A and B are shown apart, each in its own frame.
Chain A
């Protein structure tokens, strides 16, 4: 059932066995705060297939952010295993995780997190710099992605000269520039008005249509409705996991 969309095979990025991008088994993350142990994620088994568009929902304190950090390879689990794109990443070192983030994951943040002093083009090039690509190749690919998000005419603008929606589109271009197996969007519309939010959601839908696997973390039901599947977290566990019927787009 979960592999229902694996028929779509238009995107070039590699995938793991059987087209599975994310596979977790008993994923747990505990924090020790003073004398207390906070069980943020208490054992999540989940699988996301290539080409899926998954919305992760949940109230604050549900372990949503922690789970997101684990999926994004920004954090390592206390227990359990995590395979990203067929590779077991739950036991990698910091620098190995940095390389995984660089090649396999594209991040879109609520607060955009662009470098304010760098041009759009340079911001989009950044992951390619860390991937060690020569500047001509970097430029070509960054331009291509900026065109894709409709910012071909804003390449030399710096973030302060752009609107919120434009900034988030630069961030999306940056997330896509390494052709990642997974696009991870954390409340991407959280800082945008409803019209601009819709624009961004439409871009995500379009990207998914051409084969991009997307995980979207949000607490807004109408944004989550754009996804093909919703996973509701509560108290560090998966509460509900279902396909969206009759997708709105």
Chain B
């Protein structure tokens, strides 16, 4: 008990006495730990971003997309998804679920002297509610305006910037989409992007207007969104959609469908897996540098044992047992590594913060990562400290006392 305190004090004293050497040796562990923490923070940050995006996209939304029809194992070209499919869905399951079709094209948009290229989306009024798009100014378009193929537009929150005019002033003004005049009736609040979707940069117009007036009779939908009342009801929703579209496309339940129904989180989870793999890979590489740091510790501990051979002899002559000597050197290695680990964690926090500030990449230091990094550096101290410590402990006191 009393010996333990002496052991720790001797270890600390030895580290202090060789401050520069101890510092340089520990640097290997510091850098290794900091690298691991930074890499894991980057990965964790990416994952959290994805998580936020899933929530932003709505966890209760299914997306129907045209898929490739297969005939005897050969792709037979992409099948269409049409407004009729959306109407069928609305007629048959619209009571429970919200339906919004979407047609999209990147078009030139002008206002006054400003000129920009934006993604223009034709859809139904239900789209706004389904995706929780709230208004900053003006109003959404309504069913009547869809029926009447009216030239009205609702702008995403970034579009007024593209057109170099404040959002509030644009409401009631006329902008040109592909040279066709549209009245701006509303500007949305900022929503934030999710993966490839950047609704803040988009312009929303009635589906019918888009199909017949702007996109020249195109009737291929990009997708149909279906929102279930809650995320728990996605499975029955999936079954209903499958049933309705199969009937529309005259596909038997046993045949392969020519459309796909995706949950927004499916796509993101795939992305998540990729991120995780990358994080693991990067953390692994960083871990190797931690290992190299451990070898540095072992090297310096061997030097320390040789230098202090005489001291070891004296201690043994005065009654130190093998175990005492073993612990003394083991604890010295352990203290070096844990000290390095703590500094490394601090450094990791710092560099993660720096990355966020410099590149705007989201980072997050997970408490588990800190625990693992500290545990790992302690384990390295034990692993690489044990051999030098054993060498010290088995020294013959006579030889050690005679050592010059």
Complex partner residue of A126 from B5, B318, B322, B401, CB under 8 angstroms: B318
Told that A74-B401, A98-B316, A135-B2 touch, could you supply 17 new A-B pairs with CB distance under 8 A?
Answer: A74-B397, A75-B398, A94-B321, A95-B321, A95-B323, A98-B319, A98-B320, A98-B321, A107-B317, A113-B313, A113-B314, A126-B315, A126-B318, A129-B2, A129-B3, A129-B6, A138-B2
The 6 A-B residue pairs with the shortest CB-CB distance in the complex, in nearest-first order: A102-B319, A130-B319, A95-B321, A113-B314, A98-B321, A129-B6
Distance of A69 Cα from B313 Cα, bound (Å):
13
Q: Which of B2, B314, B317 contacts A115 (CB 8 A)?
A: B314
Q: How far is the CB of B19 from chain A (nearest CB, A)?
A: 13
What are 29 A-B pairs with beta-carbon distances under 8 A?
A: A69-B398, A74-B397, A74-B401, A94-B321, A95-B321, A95-B323, A98-B320, A98-B321, A99-B319, A101-B316, A101-B319, A102-B319, A107-B318, A113-B310, A113-B313, A113-B314, A113-B401, A115-B311, A115-B314, A126-B318, A127-B319, A129-B2, A129-B3, A130-B3, A130-B324, A132-B1, A133-B2, A134-B2, A138-B2
- Closest residue of chain A to B14 (Cβ to Cβ) is A117
Could you say which residues of chain B place their CB within 8 Å of the CB of A114? 314
Q: Which of A93-128 touch B at CB < 8 Å?
A: 94-95, 98-99, 101-103, 107, 109, 113-115, 117-118, 126-127
Q: Are A99 and B318 in contact (CB under 8 A)?
A: no
Chain A residues positioned under 8 Å from B239 (CB to CB): none
Q: In this complex, which of A115, A118, A129 has the most chain B Cβ atoms within 10 angstroms of its Cβ?
A: A129
Mask of B337-359 contacts with A, CB within 8 angstroms, 1/0: 00000000000000000000000
Given contacts A98-B319, A107-B317, A107-B318, are A117 and B2 in contact (CB under 8 A)?
no
Determine the main DSSP class of A at the interface with B. helix
The answer to whether A174 touches B398 (Cβ under 8 A) is no
Chain B residues in the interface with A (C-beta under 8 A): 1-3, 5-6, 13, 17, 310-311, 313-324, 397-398, 401
Name which residue of chain B comes closest to A137, CB basis.
B2
With known contacts A132-B1, A134-B2, A74–B317 Cβ distance under 8 A: yes
- Specify the main secondary structure of chain B where it touches its partner: helix
Q: Is the CB of A130 within 8 A of B318?
A: yes
Query: Which residues of the other chain, A, contact B6 by a CB distance below 8 angstroms?
Result: 129
| Chain A residue at minimum C-beta to C-beta distance from B13 | A117
**Contact (A95, B322) CB under 8 Å given A132-B3, A134-B2:** yes
**B314 (CB) vs chain A CBs: closest residue:** A113
A20 to B384 Cα, complex, angstroms: 48
How far does the Cβ of B328 sit from chain A's closest Cβ, in whole Å? 11
Find B318's partner among A69, A102, A117, A138 (CB 8 Å cutoff).
A102
A131 within 8 A of B: yes
**With A113-B314, A115-B311 in contact, is A130–B320 under 8 Å at CB?**
yes
Number of A-B contacts (CB under 8 A): 64
A42 to chain B, nearest CB (A): 19
| A129: B residues at CB distance < 8 A | 2-3, 6
CA–CA, A98 and B319, complex, Å: 4
Give the residue name and chain of the B residue nearest to A101 (CB): B319
Q: Answer whether A103 and B319 are a contact pair too, CB < 8 Å, given A115-B311, A117-B13.
A: yes
**The one of A75, A94, A103, A127 that contacts B322, using a Cβ cutoff of 8 Å:** A94
Question: Once bound together, how far apart are the Cα atoms of A134 and B310, in whole Å?
Answer: 26
Closest to B7 in A: A129
**A121-170 interface (Cβ within 8 A of B):** 126-127, 129-135, 138
Residues in B whose Cβ lies below 8 Å from that of A117: 13, 17
In whole angstroms, what is the CA distance A172 to B17 when docked? 26
Measured CB to CB, the closest approach of chain A to B305, in angstroms, equals 16
- Cα–Cα distance between A99 and B3 once the two chains are bound (Å): 14
Instruction: Find B317's partner among A101, A133, A135 (CB 8 Å cutoff).
Output: A101
Residues of chain A contacted by B397 (CB below 8 angstroms): 74
Query: Considering only CB atoms, which chain A residue lies closest to B16 in the complex?
Result: A117
A69 neighbours in B (Cβ, 8 Å): 398
Taking A75-B398, A117-B13 as contacts, is the C-beta distance between A174 and B2 under 8 angstroms? Answer: no
Give chain A nearest CB distance to B394 CB in angstroms: 9
- Nearest-Cβ distance from residue A32 to partner chain B, whole angstroms: 15
Chain A contacts of B314 at CB under 8 A? 113-115
Distance in angstroms from B323 CB to nearest chain A CB is 7
- Residue interface mask A166-194, B partner, CB < 8 A = 1: 00000000100000000000000000000
Chain B residues whose CB sits within 8 angstroms of the CB of A103 once the complex forms: 319
- Of all chain A residues, which has the CB nearest B6? A129
* Residue in B320, B323, B324, B401 whose beta carbon sits within 8 Å of that of A109 in the complex: B401
By a CB distance below 8 angstroms, the chain B residues around A94 are: 321-322
B249 to chain A, nearest CB (A): 85
Question: In the complex, A164 Cα to B323 Cα: how many Å?
Answer: 33
A135 vs B311: C-alpha distance when bound (angstroms): 22
In the assembled complex, the CB of A7 is this many whole angstroms from the nearest CB of chain B, namely 31
Which chain B residue lies CB-closest to A126? B318
Interchain CA distance A138-B315 in the complex, whole Å: 16
Distance to closest chain B CB from A109 (angstroms): 7
Question: Who on chain B is nearest to A107 by CB?
Answer: B317
Complex CA–CA separation, A95 to B13 (angstroms): 25
Residue of A at shortest CB range from B17? Answer: A117
B-chain residues with CB within 8 Å of residue A113 when the two chains form the complex: 310, 313-314, 317, 401
Are B319 and A131 neighbours in the complex by a CB distance under 8 Å? yes
Q: Are A127 and B321 in contact (CB under 8 A)?
A: no
Q: Assess whether A74 is in contact with B318, with CB atoms less than 8 Å apart.
A: no
For residue A79, give the distance in angstroms from its CB to the closest CB of chain B.
18
Contacts of A118 in B (CB 8 A): 13
The answer to whether B2 touches A132, judged by C-beta atoms less than 8 angstroms apart, is: yes
Which residues in B have their C-beta under 8 angstroms from that of A134? 2
CB-CB under 8 A from A102, the residues of chain B are 318-319
Q: Chain B contacts of A174 at CB under 8 A?
A: 318
